[in-house]
A = this chain, B = another copy of it.
Amino acid sequence: MGIDEGRYRVIIEGMEPEIDGGRFPIKRAIGEKVVVEADIFADSHDALSCLVLHRKDGEPRWEEHPMVFLINDRWRGEFTVTELGHYRYTVQALVDHFKSWRQGLVKKFDAGHDVSVDLLAGGDLVEEASGRAAGSDAKTLKRLALSLRSVEEPTKRVQIALCDELAELMAKYPDRELATTYDRELVVVVDRTKARFSCWYEMFPRSCASNAGRDGTFKDCEARLPYIASMGFDILYFPPIHPIGRTHRKGKNNTPTAGPNDPGSPWAIGSAEGGHEDVHPQLGTHEDFRRLMAKAAEHGIEIAIDLAFQCTPDHPYVKEHPEWFRWRPDRTVQYAENPPKKYEDIYPLNFETGKWEELWQELKGIVFFWIDQGVRIFRVDNPHTKPFHFWEWLIGEVKKNFPEVIFLAEAFTRPKVMYQLAKLGFTQSYTYFAWRNTKWELSQYFTELSQTEVREYFRPNLWPNTPDILTEYLQMGGPPAFMVRLVLAATLGANYGIYGPAFELCESQPKELGSEEYLNSEKYEIKKWDITRPDSLKDFISRVNRIRRENHSLQGDWSLRFHPIDNEQLICYSKQTKDFSNIIVVVVNLDPHHTQAGWVELSLPDLGIDHRMPYQMHDLLGDGRYLWHGPRNYVELNPGISPAQILRVRHKVRTERDFDYFM
C-alpha cells in the first residue's frame, strides 16, 4: 500500500464498458461517443465529484469530463473519439469537501443555527483552493475567502457561499491529493466509419470475362465496376487471387480428381507459380491489380482480399519451410482432416512448430505486402483454425501503423469462439444470420448482438449467401425469399454483404437435397453470369442500398428495437437516430409464398411519436404513404409484389400548440 493509499476513501467499481476486466478493448468508429458508467461511493455521507478521463495514445494529458449522478451510487459521463487509433479512458473521483460543506451550510442556516464557525471553515477551504489556482482565478478565490470570513452579516456571507461563481471555481480547482483513480486504463480502438457501415459484394474475378471462351481477368473486373457501383456496394471482395495448386486439385462439384481444364478452388493456394504474395497468372499482374483498385476507388469502391493461411502440396513453403508443417511417421506432410474426411489438397500450417516466430513473421509479411499494394480491407478465412494469440498479435501489429485497416472474421463456429476473435481485434465478424429465419430466432439473436455487452466489441456483418452457403430458405422461396433476406440483412445490419451475381440472379440450385452447397459451385469452375437478365434483383438491391445511404438510422446497429406484431410470419423492428430526426420502421413478411397481414404495435414513446397525433409512414421501398394513428396499425404484405416495407416515419414536430389542440 502506497504512502497515501490508506487515506483514499473513494471506491470505483462496476465500470462499463469494460470487457473481461479490461483485458480487451471496446470498439468505436470516428465521431462516436463512449458513455462510461461506474459505481462510485465513499464511506460516510460526503459529496463526491467524479470525472471521466480520456486521452489518445501518445497524448501526454488526460482530457476530463464531469460525470453526473444517476441513482444507487451509479455515475455516468461521456466523451467522443475523433481520431483513428487507440484511446484510453478511466475514471477519477474524490470526496468533495467544498460541496459537502456547502450542502451542510444551507441545511444549518435554514434550521436557524449559528453558522459563523462554518463560514470560517468554508473560508479555509476556499483559501486552500486559491493556492491550487493561478492568475485571476486565484485572486477571485482569495477575495471570496476573505468575504466568507468577513464581519458582514451571515445572510450575505451565506449568499456568497452559494453563488455560482464560487461553485464553478471550486469545481475547477479540486483538491486531488486524495483522489481515487480507477485502477485500470481501458482501451477504445477507433476505426473508420466503414467499420460500422459497409456494403460488401463478393465476386470471383475469373468469372468476369466479357466474352465466353476465356477466363476473367482484373481488366474484366474493371468493366464490371459500374454495375457494382450502380447497386450501391462500397466494398468489392475477391476470393483468393493467388496461384492454385495442382496436386489433389478438386474437379467440378468438389470431385476428388480434376480434369485438365478444371481451374481448382481459389482457396487451394500455392503452386509452382508462387504463393500468398503472388497473383494467379490468368488474372493478371500486381500492376493490373493496383490499377483495378484505383479504378474501383473512382467508383467509390474499395477492394478487399482474402487471407487464407493454408497451403496446397505445391506451395513453395512446403519445400522452403518444411518445419512449418506437421509430418507423419511415414515422412509425408499431414493434410487437413476432419475424421473420417480427408482434404489431401490442403496442408494446414503447424502453429505449434518450434519455429512459430518465423512463421508469424512470414504471415505478417504477407499482410504488409498487400497493404503496400494498397489493400486496406481483409476478409480472413477460417480464423478459428489458427491460434487466438496469433491474430491478436497480427492485427495489433497492422493497426499500429495502419489503423484504417479492416479485418472481417469468417468464423462460422461456436459463439464463444466467434466472440473471442472479435474481442482480440477483428473489426467485423460474420454471424449466424444466414440460419436465423423465424421471428423468434431473428429477434433473440439481434437483440443479443445489439443490446448486450457483445456490441462493444463484435460488429456483425450479415450475409444472406456466400459461395459456401445456399440456405434452404433461399433454395425453396424463389425471388421473394432473396428479397426478404436482402431487406433483413441490409436493415438489421449496418454491415452486410452478398455473394453475387449468384444472389441478384437468385441462383438457388443446391448440389443435392439437404446440402447448402451450390450445384456447379463457382468454387470449382468458372461461371458465365448473365447480369443483364430482366429478372435480376439489381434494381431492388440498388433501391435498398440507396435507402441505407439516405437514412442515417440504418448506418448503425445499436438503436435496433423489435415491436410486437400479431402474426408469426411478420416481423417488425425500428432504428432511429438519437435526436429522432430519422426513424425507420421495417416490416417484413418472412413467408415468401403467401400474403400475410397483421397489427403492428409500436412503442411510440421510444420512437418520440406523440400518441395523440396521426403520423405519416412513407414506404421507401414501394413509395406508398400511409397515415397511421396510435400504436396499433394494420400491415399487409404480398410477397409477389413486395415482401417488405421500409417505412420512414414523417411525423409532425411536437409543438406546444399541438398539445393544446388535443388536450
The residues of A with any CB-CB pair to B shorter than 8 Å are 1, 5-9, 11, 13-14, 20-23, 39, 41-45, 72-73, 103-105, 107-108, 110-111, 113, 117, 120-121, 123-124, 178, 328-330, 332, 337-340, 351-352, 356-357, 360, 384-390, 393, 414-417, 420
Contacts and interface: CB of A to CB of B under 8 A. Distances in A.
Contacts of A8: 387, 389
Copies in the complex: 2
Contacts of A338: 45
Contacts of A120: 328-330
A123 B415 CA distance: 35
Contacts of A13: 20, 23, 420
Contact of A417 (B41, B108, B328, B388): B41
28 contacts: A5-B389, A6-B351, A6-B356, A6-B357, A6-B360, A6-B389, A6-B390, A7-B351, A7-B352, A7-B356, A7-B387, A9-B351, A11-B420, A39-B416, A41-B416, A43-B384, A43-B386, A43-B387, A44-B385, A45-B338, A73-B414, A104-B337, A107-B339, A107-B340, A111-B340, A117-B328, A117-B332, A121-B328
Nearest to A329: B120
A17 to B, nearest CB: 14
A417 B387 contact: no
Contacts of A330: 117, 120
Contact of A43 (B11, B44, B108, B388): B388
A42 to B, nearest CB: 8
A377 to B, nearest CB: 23
Task: Report, nearest first, the 8 A-B pairs whose CB atoms are least far apart.
Answer: A21-B21, A111-B340, A120-B329, A107-B339, A104-B339, A73-B416, A44-B385, A107-B340
A388 B41 CA distance: 10
A387 B6 contact: yes
Contacts of A6: 351, 356-357, 360, 387, 389-390, 393
Contacts of A420: 11, 13, 41
Contacts of A415: 72
Contact of A124 (B113, B329, B337, B339): B329
A330 B73 CA distance: 35
A123 B330 CA distance: 13
A126 B302 CA distance: 52
A121 B331 CA distance: 11
A9 B387 contact: yes
A440 B330 CA distance: 71
A340 B110 contact: yes
Contacts of A9: 351-352, 387-389
A1 B393 CA distance: 9
A384 B352 contact: no
Given A360-B6, A385-B43, A417 B73 contact: yes
Contacts of A23: 13
Contacts of A340: 107-108, 110-111, 113
Contacts of A414: 41, 72-73
A43 B389 CA distance: 10
A653 to B, nearest CB: 41
A8 B329 CA distance: 24
A648 to B, nearest CB: 40
A395 to B, nearest CB: 14
A121 B329 contact: yes
A350 to B, nearest CB: 10
Contacts of A390: 6
Contacts of A72: 414-416
A401 to B, nearest CB: 19
Contacts of A113: 340
Contacts of A107: 339-340
A37 B149 CA distance: 62
A333 to B, nearest CB: 12
A303 B9 CA distance: 32
Given A41-B420, A108-B339, A117-B328, 10 more contacts: A1-B393, A7-B351, A8-B389, A13-B420, A43-B386, A105-B339, A110-B340, A117-B330, A120-B330, A124-B329
